[in-house]
Structure 1
Amino acid sequence: MIEHLPILQVIVPLLAAPICLILREARLVRWFTFIASALAFVISILLLQQVQTQGAISYSLGGWDAPIGIEYRIDLLNAYLLILVTSISSLALLAAGPSLRKELTERKETYFYVAYLLCLTGLLGILATGDAFNVFVFLEISSLASYTMIAMGRDRRALWASYQYLIMGTIGATFILIGIGLMYMMTGTLNMYDLAERLPEVQQTKTVFTAFAFFVVGVCLKLALFPLHLWLPNAYAYAPSIATVFLAATATKVAIYVLLRFIFTVYGFEFSFSHLPLQEILVALGLMGVFAASIVAIYQDNVKRLFAYSSVAQIGYMILGLGIGSKTGLTATLLHLFNHALMKGAIFLALAGLVYRVGSVNLKAFSGLGKQMPWSMAAIVVGGLSLIGVPLTVGFVSKWYLVLALLESNWWPIAVLVLIGSLLAVIYVWRIVEVAYFRKAMQDSAPYKEAPLMILIPTWILVLANIYFGIDTSFTVGLSEQISGVLFEGAK
Structure 2
Amino acid sequence: MIEQNLTILMVVVPLMCAPITAMLNRAYIGWLITLLVTTSCFVMSIILLLGLSDGTVIHYELGGWAPPWGIEYRLDSVNGLVALIVSGIGMLTSIYAKRSVEVEIESHQIPLFYTAFQLCFLGLLGICLTGDIFNLFVFLEISSLASYALIALGNNRKALTASFHYLVLGTLGATFFLIGIGLAYAATGTLNMADLSSGLVAASDIRLVHTAFAFIIVGMALKAAIYPLHLWLPNAYSYAPSVVSIFLCATATKVAIYVIIRCLFNVFSIDYVLSTLLPEVLVVVGAVAILYGSVRAIGQNGMRKMLAYSSVAQIGYMVMGIGFFSRSGLTASLLHLFNHALMKAALFMAAGLFIYRVNTATYENLKGMGKEMPWTFAAMLIAAMSLIGVPGTVGFVSKWQLLQAAIEQQQWAMLVIIIIGSLLAIIYMWKLIEVLYFQQQSKIRIQDVQSGSERFSHSPLSMTAALWILSGMCIYFGIFTDFSMQTAHSAVDLLFAGHRGQG
TM more than 0.5: yes
Q: 1:239 aligns to what?
A: 240
* 8 Å CA contact 2:318, 2:336 repeated in 1: yes
Q: Note the C-alpha offset of 1:49.
A: 2.5
1:451 aligns with 2:459: yes
* 8 Å CA contact 1:268, 1:491 repeated in 2: no
Is the alpha carbon distance of 1:261 and 1:367 closer, same or farther for their aligned partners in structure 2, counting shifts above 3 Å?
A: same
* 8 Å CA contact 1:372, 1:450 repeated in 2: no
CA distance in 1, matches of 2:56, 2:489: 16
Q: Write the deviation string for residues 298-326 of structure 1: whole angstroms up to 9, x where unpaired.
A: 11112101000000000000000001111
SS at structure 2 position matched to 1:225: coil
* 8 Å CA contact 1:85, 1:250 repeated in 2: yes
Q: Note the C-alpha offset of 1:53.
A: 5.6
Q: 1:468 aligns to what?
A: 476
CA distance in 1, matches of 2:357, 2:370: 14
SS at structure 1 position matched to 2:177: helix
1:83 aligns with 2:84: yes
* 8 Å CA contact 2:14, 2:118 repeated in 1: yes
Q: 1:398 aligns to what?
A: 398
Q: Which stretch has the larger CA shift, 171-180 or 368-377?
A: 368-377
Code of the residue aligned with 2:425 in structure 1: it is: A
CA distance in 2, matches of 1:444, 1:55: 56
Q: 1:221 aligns to what?
A: 222
Q: Note the C-alpha offset of 1:122.
A: 0.4
Q: Write the deviation string for residues 256-311 of structure 1: whole angstroms up to 9, x where unpaired.
A: 010010100110111112x2101111011101111011101111112101000000
CA RMSD, aligned part only? Answer: 1.3
Q: Write the deviation string for residues 31-81 of structure 1: whole angstroms up to 9, x where unpaired.
A: 111001111111111211333368101110011000110000001101111
Q: Write the deviation string for residues 164-192 of structure 1: whole angstroms up to 9, x where unpaired.
A: 00000000000000100000001000000
Q: 1:169 aligns to what?
A: 170
Is the alpha carbon distance of 1:463 and 1:199 closer, same or farther for their aligned partners in structure 2, counting shifts above 3 Å?
A: same
Q: 1:31 aligns to what?
A: 32
SS at structure 2 position matched to 1:276: coil
For structure 2, the 5+ residue unaligned runs are 447-454
Q: Note the C-alpha offset of 1:415.
A: 0.4
* 8 Å CA contact 2:249, 2:345 repeated in 1: yes
* 8 Å CA contact 1:126, 1:139 repeated in 2: yes
Q: Write the deviation string for residues 366-405 of structure 1: whole angstroms up to 9, x where unpaired.
A: 1111110011112222111111101111000010000000
* 8 Å CA contact 1:161, 1:231 repeated in 2: yes
Code of the residue aligned with 1:18 in structure 2: it is: P
Q: 1:489 aligns to what?
A: 497
Q: 2:434 aligns to what?
A: 434
Q: Note the C-alpha offset of 1:444.
A: 5.8
* 8 Å CA contact 2:366, 2:436 repeated in 1: yes
Is the alpha carbon distance of 1:54 and 1:478 closer, same or farther for their aligned partners in structure 2, counting shifts above 3 Å?
A: closer
Q: Write the deviation string for residues 439-479 of structure 1: whole angstroms up to 9, x where unpaired.
A: 11114679953421110001000000000000000000111
Q: 2:205 aligns to what?
A: 204
* 8 Å CA contact 2:166, 2:233 repeated in 1: yes
Q: Which stretch has the larger CA shift, 147-156 or 40-49?
A: 40-49
1:63 aligns with 2:71: no
Code of the residue aligned with 1:91 in structure 2: it is: L
Q: Note the C-alpha offset of 1:12.
A: 0.5
SS at structure 2 position matched to 1:51: coil
Superposition pairs of residues 137-286 of structure 1, within 5 angstroms: 137-273=138-274, 275-286=275-286
Code of the residue aligned with 2:270 in structure 1: it is: F
Superposition pairs of residues 112-123 of structure 1, within 5 angstroms: 112-123=113-124
CA distance in 1, matches of 2:239, 2:443: 27
Q: 2:294 aligns to what?
A: 294
SS at structure 1 position matched to 2:60: strand
SS at structure 1 position matched to 2:497: helix
Q: In the comparison of the two structures, how many residue pairs are matched? A: 491
Q: 2:450 aligns to what?
A: none
1:328 aligns with 2:328: yes
Q: Which of 475, 484, 488 in structure 2 is aligned with 1:480?
A: 488
Code of the residue aligned with 1:329 in structure 2: it is: G
SS at structure 2 position matched to 1:489: coil
CA distance in 2, matches of 1:75, 1:330: 16
Q: Write the deviation string for residues 329-360 of structure 1: whole angstroms up to 9, x where unpaired.
A: 00000000000000011111111111111100
SS at structure 2 position matched to 1:52: coil
CA distance in 2, matches of 1:227, 1:53: 38
Is the alpha carbon distance of 1:491 and 1:181 closer, same or farther for their aligned partners in structure 2, counting shifts above 3 Å?
A: farther
Q: 2:307 aligns to what?
A: 307
TM, length-normalised to structure 1? 0.98
* 8 Å CA contact 1:56, 1:74 repeated in 2: yes
CA distance in 1, matches of 2:129, 2:9: 10
CA distance in 2, matches of 1:329, 1:457: 34
CA distance in 1, matches of 2:196, 2:379: 45
Q: 1:422 aligns to what?
A: 422
* 8 Å CA contact 1:118, 1:142 repeated in 2: yes
* 8 Å CA contact 1:187, 1:195 repeated in 2: yes
CA distance in 1, matches of 2:236, 2:300: 15
SS at structure 1 position matched to 2:74: strand
Code of the residue aligned with 1:471 in structure 2: it is: I
* 8 Å CA contact 1:66, 1:191 repeated in 2: yes
Is the alpha carbon distance of 1:491 and 1:194 closer, same or farther for their aligned partners in structure 2, counting shifts above 3 Å?
A: farther
Q: 2:372 aligns to what?
A: 372
CA distance in 2, matches of 1:392, 1:159: 40
* 8 Å CA contact 1:265, 1:491 repeated in 2: no
CA distance in 1, matches of 2:346, 2:133: 33
* 8 Å CA contact 1:56, 1:75 repeated in 2: yes
Q: Note the C-alpha offset of 1:411.
A: 1.3
Runs of 4+ in 1 over 3 A off after TM superposition: 443-448
CA distance in 2, matches of 1:490, 1:120: 33
Q: Which stretch has the larger CA shift, 300-309 or 406-415?
A: 406-415
* 8 Å CA contact 1:302, 1:362 repeated in 2: yes
* 8 Å CA contact 1:372, 1:448 repeated in 2: no
